[in-house]
Amino acid sequence: MFDKLEDLVARLEELQAQLSDPAVISNQDKFRLLMKEQSDLAPIVDKYLEYKDAKQTIEDSLMMLDEENDEDMREMLKEELNSAKAQVETCEQELKILLLPKDPNDERNVIVEIRAGAGGDEAALFAAELYRMYVHYVESRRWKAELMEVEEIGIGGMKSVTFMVTGNGAYSVLKYESGVHRVQRVPETESGGRIHTSTASVAVLPEADEMDEIDIPEKDIRIDVMRASGNGGQCVNTTDSAVRLTHYPTGIVVYSQTEKSQLQNKAKAFALLKAKLLDIEMQKRHDAEADLRKSQVGTGDRSEKIRTYNFPQGRVTDHRIGLTLYKLDKIMNGDIQEIIDACIAADQTAKLAKMNEQA
């Protein structure tokens, strides 16, 4: 590990020199790639230098203890020594986490799809509540949520809703939300007071970018334009602005009607289609890397039941990591960071254990 870290220190110095070269600065594509590599390496190198400083402090303290006779000074040196030893242990653990293989999609924006599952109208109401939960969470991170497609029912529910989240590292955080979410509560329409169980599925797709080379030949796609339906407001429902794309090879159909402009809806529809095609490729890679998929915390299997929201008891349970929190109201209002942090920690622990097995 330490040989690799020394190589990373040298590489960071090389990057810093390249980034001050006028020829590199004038080449925006190369400059952007090198800046990205520098921002990835800097936290690792900083932590390694902190580790080396702590190791040096240990050596210096031990040397001074051998030569020091004053008891007060010896006590100070022992405290400094113990503090440095603890810092070394902490740095070693943090460096292992920083050196774990990174998901190449972690820094991307995401497209989130929520679909009502079992439970009829109650499932649609729950899907709408999940959508609001995520929008509140996104806003708390100062990210941006942009509606792409929605199919509503008359009582305030949503059969399906798709939205894009724009923000640095959005996929690294929200990917843990993929899976089946279950709600247990007494529906407003239930006169007997019986608790019903309903579900909604959440899919988190990384946004495709120009580097993915997702080619969509014209012969493989049909584009239909039509008048938008539902609650669209002025102009949206009075022009042929809605766009539906049908991708023949996969059978995927996407629809966008949230914008007044046909061009804007077309751009959104293509962004969603590309994300779905990228997701198909990712699923193929996941299936080919079964061991990696097993070591991950709920980011591979869309049919996995990941979480239960129990309204009578005011609790939320994440089944992947055995976490139960009794603050359902706050969670439904977007306070999900504690759950996400626990998923990230569990994922890192599983990957570290896997790495140690292979070592």
* Radius of gyration of the chain measured on its C-alpha atoms: 26
Name the residue type at position 202.
Answer: V
- Pull the structure tokens for residue 295: 């070591």
Alpha-carbon span 290 to 288, nearest angstrom:
6
Say which residue the tokens 């019986």 belong to: 194
Beta strand 196-206 with 110-116: parallel, antiparallel or unpaired?
Answer: antiparallel
- pLDDT value for 234: 42
Strand 323-325 with 315-318, pairing: antiparallel
List all residues 6 or more positions away from 132 whose beta carbon is below 8 Å from its beta carbon: 332, 334
User: What CA–CA distances, in Å, run from 282 to 152, 208, 275, 293?
Assistant: 30, 11, 10, 11
CA dist., res. 273 & res. 279, Å (int):
10
Q: What is the pLDDT of residue 159?
A: 92
Q: Which residues contact 18 (CB under 8 A, 6 or more apart)?
A: 24, 34
Alpha carbon of 81 to those of 63, 87, 90, 216: distances in Å?
Answer: 11, 10, 14, 62
The pLDDT assigned to 355 comes to 72
Pairing of strands 305-310, 323-325: unpaired
pLDDT of residue 297: 53
The predicted pLDDT at position 290 comes to 53
Residues forming beta bridges with residue 124, ordered by sequence position: none
Q: What is the pLDDT along the chain (359 residues), one digit of tens a residue?
A: 778 888 899 999 999 999 998 988 898 888 888 998 898 899 999 999 999 999 999 999 999 998 888 888 899 999 999 999 999 999 988 888 888 878 788 888 999 999 999 888 899 999 999 999 999 999 999 999 999 888 888 888 999 999 999 998 899 999 999 999 999 998 876 667 788 999 999 999 888 876 666 778 888 888 888 776 655 444 444 556 888 888 888 888 888 887 778 888 888 888 888 888 888 877 776 665 555 444 445 444 556 799 999 999 999 999 999 999 999 999 999 999 999 999 999 998 888 887 777 65
Query: Strand order of the sheet with strand 221-226?
Result: 221-226, 242-247, 252-256
Query: Do 150 and 162 meet the contact criterion of CB atoms below 8 Å apart?
Result: yes
Q: 174 in helix, strand or coil?
A: helix
- C-alpha distances out from residue 71 to 67, 79, 122, 198, 287, Å: 12, 12, 72, 69, 63
Which residues 6+ apart lie within 8 Å of 359 measured at CB?
none
Q: Within the chain, where are the H helices?
A: 2-19, 22-26, 28-67, 71-98, 121-140, 170-174, 262-288, 290-295, 328-332, 337-358
pLDDT attached to residue 302: 55
Instruction: Spell out the residues 6+ positions from residue 214 whose beta carbon is closer than 8 angstroms to its own.
Output: 208, 274, 277, 278
